[in-house]
């Protein structure tokens, strides 16, 4: 048996196991319960990458690593910068591959965060734009940066339905075929409403409802359910969108 045959057999076994765990209601229920209970302690806020807070689940960052390695993009666009951990993470993966840049967009890049990002060793692969991701003038800049490039898109800014839907309409068409648009925090739809007393989003008005609406409008993307079945614990259920045409 050749190495290639062994690898294919292992991959097929993994895919079958992933499908079964996705169908396991007890397991998926436990994953949901863990997410909701750990969110009370801001579990996802407690990780960093190369010295910067990343504010993401490790499972989702592992998925992003797999996607970036598979797609080998020229450009990763992320709406939402915060402390910069995620754009630094993507930049470091591109650095390992020896190719590609990250473009981060944020309404308000705090001076201390900008300074930390711009002085970071991975800054050579990062560019930032300050402004609203749904501002038409910002969208023009992003489209120019993406022209002719293989693109991965990550949406992680304002989590209201209307905002995310407009981001999808503006930027999802930039995503390359067989690449991904990843919409973070779709999990808001599945969480108790009292988790968001001081936020303009919640169940019924969030990134997942925006994804569902966008998929009604646009048939170029499909939800990668096998990927979310693999993760089980994720902030992006129904949010891993693979461009299929």
Q: Give pLDDT, residue 195.
A: 87
Dihedral in degrees, nearest 10, Cα atoms 156, 208, 37, 31? -110
Q: Dmax of the chain from CA atoms?
A: 59
C-beta of residue 54 within 8 angstroms of C-beta of residue 159: no
Q: Give pLDDT, residue 197.
A: 84
Cβ-in-10-Å burial (0-12, 13-18, 19+) of 80 comes to buried
What is the mean predicted confidence (pLDDT) over 119-126?
98
- For residue 195 the two structure tokens come to 């988790």
Q: Give pLDDT, residue 104.
A: 98
β-strands 52-53, 48-49: how paired?
antiparallel
C-beta of residue 48 within 8 angstroms of C-beta of residue 92: no
Q: Give pLDDT, residue 1.
A: 66
- Between CA 149 and CA 75 the distance in angstroms is 7
What is the mean predicted confidence (pLDDT) over 26-46?
96
How many C-beta neighbours within 10 Å does residue 68 have? Answer: 21
pLDDT tens digits, residue range 48-87?
999 999 999 999 999 999 999 999 999 999 999 999 999 9
What is the rounded average pLDDT for all residues in the chain? 96
Question: Which of 20-29, 110-119, 171-180, 192-201 is predicted least confidently?
Answer: 192-201
């Amino acid at each position: 048996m050749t190495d290639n045959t062994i690898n294919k057999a292992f991959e097929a076994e993994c895919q079958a196991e992933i499908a079964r765990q996705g169908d396991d209601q007890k397991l998926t229920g436990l994953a949901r319960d863990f997410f909701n209970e750990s969110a009370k302690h801001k579990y996802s806020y407690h990780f960093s990458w190369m010295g910067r807070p990343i504010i993401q689940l490790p499972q989702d960052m592992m998925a992003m690593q797999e996607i970036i390695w598979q797609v080998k993009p020229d450009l990763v666009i992320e709406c939402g910068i915060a402390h910069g951990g995620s754009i630094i993470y993507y930049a470091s993966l591109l650095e390992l591959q020896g190719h590609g840049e990250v473009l981060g967009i944020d309404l308000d890049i705090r001076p201390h965060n900008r300074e930390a990002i711009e002085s970071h060793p991975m800054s050579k692969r990062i560019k930032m734009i300050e402004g609203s991701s749904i501002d038409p003038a910002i969208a023009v800049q992003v489209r120019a940066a993406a022209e002719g490039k293989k693109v991965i898109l990550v949406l992680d800014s304002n989590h209201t339905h209307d905002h995310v839907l407009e981001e999808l309409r503006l930027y999802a068409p930039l995503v390359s075929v067989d690449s991904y648009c990843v919409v973070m925090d779709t999990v808001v739809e599945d969480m108790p409403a009292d988790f968001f007393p001081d936020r303009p989003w919640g169940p019924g008005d969030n990134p997942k409802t925006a994804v569902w609406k966008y998929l009604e409008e646009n048939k170029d993307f499909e939800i990668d359910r096998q990927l979310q079945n693999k993760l089980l614990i994720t902030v992006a259920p129904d949010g891993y969108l693979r461009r299929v045409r």
